Amino acid sequence: MDLGFHISDFEIDGGTAAIAGELARIGVAAEASGATWLSFMDHYFQIALTGFPTESAMLEGYTTLGYLAAHTSTIGLGLLVTGVTYRHPGLLAKIVATLDVLSGGRAMLGVGAAWFEREHRGLGVPFPSVAERFERLLIAGGGERKTLRLVAQYGDACNLVGSSPADVGHKLDVLRRHCDDVGRDFDEIRTTIVASNPRPTPDTCDEFVRGMEDYAKLGVHEVLVIPIGGAPAAWIDGMAPSVPRLAELG
């Protein structure tokens, strides 16, 4: 099992002036740890789910990934996930292709229907109905009938919330059935989870690795963890010992 890091806030020790330097250190730390993935959210305002106020610092995702592309050389880069409403499809394709060229082929595009109405209204971005947003080629989400069917048909990867092995196992069974229905080889799809129950820390690496054993048995390829606190690069350094131990799980 591989390890990835997902950065969900920019409340960095030292304030706004310290963000760029810390992001560069995050890239170095993530690669040095042996992690395979580094991602950010695609939001313009902070979301309440992170526990931070909505007025907290938030950077534009693809600009941030471009900066990280220059401070890394091997790790995969992407947004978890790109909101389909924020950019014209042609412009989005150009942005991701540019990132892929500048990063040496390390960009990955995940697309979601977008849901945060407040930031759409705040920035003057149209917020269509759920039906229209799904029609714009949604790949990310949690729905079993539509979203996972689209993954089976078009997706290269499937990321799920690691709420429990039972929940993830059920979702993967649904995805496998959709693959059978559309004639797709389930094993072609890379499956990942976000560790959230509980959220790991450097102090709980042992418990974290043990908790991933059941997910590895389900065939999950990678687990993403979310750094906590104002010094994420140091937090990533603290999680590094878990990388070889996760690899041993398969």
In degrees and rounded to multiples of 5, residue 231 shows phi and psi of -130, 70
For residue 51, pLDDT beyond 90:
no
Q: Worst-scoring range by mean pLDDT, 90-94, 113-117, 163-167, 224-228?
A: 113-117
Write out 32-70 in H/E/C secondary structure.
Answer: HHCCCEEEECCCCCCCHHHCCCCCCCCCCHHHHHHHHHC
For residue 198, pLDDT beyond 90:
no
What residues are paired with 107 via a beta bridge?
77
Give the domain CATH number at 20: 3.20.20.30
pLDDT of residue 137: 57
pLDDT of residue 52: 82
For residue 142, pLDDT beyond 70:
no
- Other Cβ atoms less than 10 A from the Cβ of 81: the count is 22
The number of residues in the chain equals 250
Maximum mean pLDDT: which of 45-54, 63-72, 109-118, 119-128: 63-72
pLDDT band at residue 48, thresholds of 50, 70 and 90?
A: confident
For residue 140, pLDDT beyond 60:
no
Which domain, by its residues, includes 102?
A: 2-247
pLDDT of residue 233: 98
d(C-alpha 43, C-alpha 129), whole Å? 19
pLDDT of residue 64: 98
pLDDT band at residue 49, thresholds of 50, 70 and 90?
A: confident
Full DSSP string of the chain: -EEEEEE-----TT-GGGHHHHHHHHHHHHHHHT--EEEE---SS--GGGTS-TTS----HHHHHHHHHTT-SSSEEEETTEETTSS-HHHHHHHHHHHHHHTTS-EE--EE----HHHHHHHT-----HHHHHHTT--BS--TTTHHHHHHHH-SEEEEEES-HHHHHHHHHHHHHHHHHHT--GGGSEEEEEE-TTPP-GGGHHHHHHHHHHHHHTT--EEEE---SS-HHHHHHHHTTHHHHHHTT-
Q: Per residue in 91-105, pLDDT tens?
A: 999 999 999 999 999
Cβ proximity of 204 and 231 under 8 Å: no
Q: Per residue in 15-31, pLDDT tens?
A: 999 999 999 999 999 99
Number of structural domains the chain divides into: 1
| CB-side neighbour CA atoms (13 Å) of 54 | 9
Q: Greater confidence, 55 or 36? A: 36
